[in-house]
Structure 1
Amino acid sequence: MNGISGLQVDLRQLIIAMEAAVSLVGMDDRNHGKRVGYIASQLGKQLEYSDEAIAFAFELGLLHDCGVSTAQMHSYLINNFNGNDAQIHCENGHRLLNGFKPLAKFATPVLYHHTPWEELERTDVSAQVALMANLIFISDRIDVLAATHSETDSSPVSEKVVSSIAKYSGTYFEPSFVWAFKQVAKSEVFWTALEERHVTCYTRDMGQFDNSRTLNIPQLKQFALLMADIVAQRSPFTDLHSVRVANLAKYLAVSLGLVKERCEKIEIACLLHDLGKRYIPDTIVEQPGTLTDSECAFMKQCSYETYEILRHVNGLEDIASWAAFHHVGLDGVGHPFYPYEKDSRIEARIIAVADVFQELVQDRMYQEGMSLNLAIDKLDDLVIKDKLDSKIVILLKQHADECFDLAKGQELAQCEG
């Protein structure tokens, strides 16, 4: 077995992690994707779908909103039954999933998951794709209506939601789905299972089933690139940051003489290190000036959010900790884990140097990046303060021009080594 084929990561667990990252943008509701997956799977069971089709529906529910990039877009989708702008996130989700082969089968259903049934029947898609897309549409609207009625109406939620959905049978929703919903809605368990603690446990349990679909390290890198793309959608300020940090960190790891698999895993950790930034409110993401104390508190939580997303994926334990601890200095101080935990492994130290250096030299809309010499001075200052590893900084300085080019977005052939 060669050096880069040893790690195998379960695809469903990665899909669950992807949903966890995507749902951060909702802030007040982190379980919409989980509930849609659960509802879709229950309707599929009621209609006696095959186990394979039910599993597909569940995973499609988890992935259906991967194209949502901002809290504003999330709010719009919650407050509009089928507004004209809903198609934007469908198209974005289709683009993201279609570019990654292991998830490409979900791309077209995601593209059409806000298309009314009477219109979907006239499109040039297969019957199975049309059914799955509409199954997610009705599941999505059931969840939104349930949340809306529970907040505004004292009448039984089930009666209100069933009544609302039934009005759209044959127009927005395929009639058999409406029938199936009427059946499952009679069970109190169906509604109880949608509560946060239950749907979270259900999703976690589903992630533990062995479904014989795994990704190796090259495929995992492609998945990490997809996730970096999702993070970059939040703001032009974050665009390509994770990719450039990954290129630089891998170059440093290779130059340090680490074995190939460790270098590949460092690269993946860098691509995933800012997943927690999905949690930051839009107003803070777009903030060009100095942050307030409360805004800084959100920023400090990002690393922990990254850790929580990744740590439940079997095989990603090292990658999760390297990505999460990239803000912890050699003195053990760093948000948000200090003073309880400290990771002093070389991988986390490499990522820390690459992350700081790339941020220093990156051009932003409101500020030009630092020159090479000034950025190195800043690194030296952080070494003196016991924040960065002097050995890694010295290595960067020995390859200063190459590192500067990588941090600015210029790939090098050596980085492939």
Structure 2
Amino acid sequence: MKVSIEEIIESLVITVSLSEIANNSTIREHMDGIKKKNTKDGYISHSKGTTFIALNIAKEMLLNEEDLKNLYIAAYLHDLGLTKVAFMEYDEATITREHCLEGARLISNIPKIENIAEYVKYHHENYDGTGPFGLVGEQIPLMSQILKISDFIDSNYIECRPEAYKWIMSILTNDIDKYVSSKVGKAVIEVISKKTLWRGLNNSDFMDKWLETNKPIVEESLDTYEFLQTAEVYAEIIDIRSSFTARHSRGISELAYLMAKYKGYDENKSIKLKIAGLLHDIGKLAVPIRYINKNGALTDIEYKLVKTHVFYTDLVLKPIKSIDDIREWAISHHEKLDGTGYSRELNHNELGEEQRLLAICDIYQALAEDRPYRRGLKREKCLEIIGKMVENNKLCPKAFEVLKSVTSNL
């Protein structure tokens, strides 16, 4: 299996957007010690806008292709740490610092792009030393400086608002030395004086075409084991939201792997089923945390909202074209043999063995875990409940036999 780094980047950017939207976040209004006059309503465009600005600055500075590629990846992923911080009740300074730390730590665990972690960690540093980590001047990596100013421009600019343009121009013209070196500042002044930047910020189609033409080539890909390591990052992003599900994705992945090996799958396919377990609930980033942690029964409306997590898991994983089989297994974990599951109401004729195995893993793990409204159940009770579901044609009897055999040794 070869998984494109560029496709993984697109997928991870979606996780940032979902976490902010689910939290009804206004984080970008309170960064850099400035109460911003304007904040974009659509967070999903921020990573792209920051990347667009950063590449314009980098090209003005005549950076080489390797630096352009690293900057391109770092710009898209600079806010990855918000997937964990967006749900915390932090003050402004803590949000700024912690999302930098978390973003760098998550990226450092993704093979082939670990080297950009430092750039992300320091993307809120100010050249005058007033940033969250107190780095001064050339202690701040050049790429971090470019990210800093690009992030600042995109976060504050509102499309077609003359006042936003004037305010940003005033800040950058009068206070640019506070943020970046004179070398970066000179390039910024050149870029903001040209029509290309503002046309792109005002016109998403133009921005898309410009990026398609000017983006660096990212040819790197991950093998099965490297993508397994990356899937652990996805699992950490979702599991951190709730202490009650902090081991859920990993528990399912480990159980799915054992069941796959019991069935006689080869190592590659067994690892792929393990990956599906790690990724199956990533769509819960789009579900408000109050429903996930609710200490009691969900209302019908709340339950419908929770069920949308399958759609969002599909949305997050769809950009990664080489894992269509893994994605299909992951988004089928709530389907039932009799067609009463969700979200596609598949029946026994449409559910393969892998989907059946993962579905039964999910139910067993959920029953065995502590939840806000009950303690985790013992193995015997879990199997009793699942056995009734098998009798009612909800779950696969063959998968149930595998589950019983595998869990007897745990």
Alignment partner of 1:55 out of 69, 78, 96: 69
Letter in 1 for 2:276: A
Q: CA deviation at 1:215?
A: 0.8
Identify if the C-alpha distance between structure 1 residues 234 and 84 changes in structure 2 by more than 3 Å, giving closer, same or farther: closer
Match of 1:310 in 2: 317
Alignment partner of 1:40 out of 34, 54, 58: 54
For 1:102-251, what aligned pairs fall within 5 Å after superposition? 102-119=112-129, 130-147=141-158, 154-194=161-201, 198=205, 201=208, 205=212, 211-251=218-258
Q: CA deviation at 1:243?
A: 0.8
Q: CA deviation at 1:241?
A: 0.9
2:338–2:347 CA contact under 8 A, matched in 1: no
Identity of aligned residues (%): 26
Letter in 2 for 1:320: R
| TM-score normalised according to structure 2 size | 0.84
1:39–1:139 CA contact under 8 A, matched in 2: yes
Q: Distance in 1 between matches of 2:215 and 2:324?
A: 16
Match of 1:15 in 2: 9
Cα deviations by residue, 1:212-268 (Å, 9 ceiling, x for unpaired): 311111111101111111112222122121111000011111111122221111111
- Stretches of structure 2 lacking an aligned partner (at least 5 in a row): 22-41
Letter in 2 for 1:103: I
Match of 2:37 in 1: none
1:192–1:198 CA contact under 8 A, matched in 2: no
Match of 2:395 in 1: 388
1:166–1:178 CA contact under 8 A, matched in 2: no
1:326 matched to 2:337? The reply is no
Identify if the C-alpha distance between structure 1 residues 346 and 131 changes in structure 2 by more than 3 Å, giving closer, same or farther: same
Match of 1:360 in 2: 367
Q: CA deviation at 1:13?
A: 1.5
1:361–1:371 CA contact under 8 A, matched in 2: yes
Q: CA deviation at 1:279?
A: 1.0
2:296–2:372 CA contact under 8 A, matched in 1: no
1:162–1:181 CA contact under 8 A, matched in 2: no
Match of 1:378 in 2: 385
Q: Distance in 2 between matches of 1:74 and 1:201?
A: 33
Deviates more, 1:223-232 or 1:242-251: 223-232
1:109–1:133 CA contact under 8 A, matched in 2: yes
Identify if the C-alpha distance between structure 1 residues 279 and 235 changes in structure 2 by more than 3 Å, giving closer, same or farther: same
Letter in 2 for 1:277: K
| TM-score normalised according to structure 1 size | 0.83
Cα deviations by residue, 1:332-364 (Å, 9 ceiling, x for unpaired): 333323379985121111111111100000123
Deviates more, 1:219-228 or 1:189-198: 189-198
Alignment partner of 1:268 out of 252, 275, 283: 275
Match of 1:285 in 2: 292
Identify if the C-alpha distance between structure 1 residues 123 and 26 changes in structure 2 by more than 3 Å, giving closer, same or farther: closer
Letter in 2 for 1:144: S
Match of 1:410 in 2: none
Identify if the C-alpha distance between structure 1 residues 206 and 313 changes in structure 2 by more than 3 Å, giving closer, same or farther: farther
Q: Distance in 1 between matches of 2:135 and 2:170?
A: 31
Q: Distance in 2 between matches of 1:204 and 1:223?
A: 26
Identify if the C-alpha distance between structure 1 residues 56 and 228 changes in structure 2 by more than 3 Å, giving closer, same or farther: same
Q: Distance in 2 between matches of 1:237 and 1:189?
A: 49
Q: Distance in 2 between matches of 1:219 and 1:124?
A: 33
- Stretches of structure 1 lacking an aligned partner (at least 5 in a row): 1-6, 406-417
Match of 1:26 in 2: 20
Alignment partner of 1:95 out of 105, 112, 115: 105
Query: 1:326 aligns to what SS in structure 2?
Result: coil
Q: Distance in 1 between matches of 2:385 and 2:210?
A: 45
1:304–1:336 CA contact under 8 A, matched in 2: yes
Match of 2:406 in 1: 399
Query: 2:98 aligns to what SS in structure 1?
Result: helix
Q: Distance in 1 between matches of 2:366 and 2:210?
A: 36
Q: Distance in 1 between matches of 2:172 and 2:405?
A: 65
Q: CA deviation at 1:118?
A: 2.0
Deviates more, 1:31-40 or 1:266-275: 31-40
Letter in 2 for 1:96: L
Q: Distance in 2 between matches of 1:40 and 1:351?
A: 42
Number of positions where the alignment pairs a residue of Structure 1 with one of Structure 2: 389
Cα deviations by residue, 1:364-415 (Å, 9 ceiling, x for unpaired): 355210121211122122223332211101221233323xx3xxxxxxxxxx
Identify if the C-alpha distance between structure 1 residues 290 and 73 changes in structure 2 by more than 3 Å, giving closer, same or farther: closer
Q: CA deviation at 1:143?
A: 1.3
Deviates more, 1:18-27 or 1:240-249: 18-27
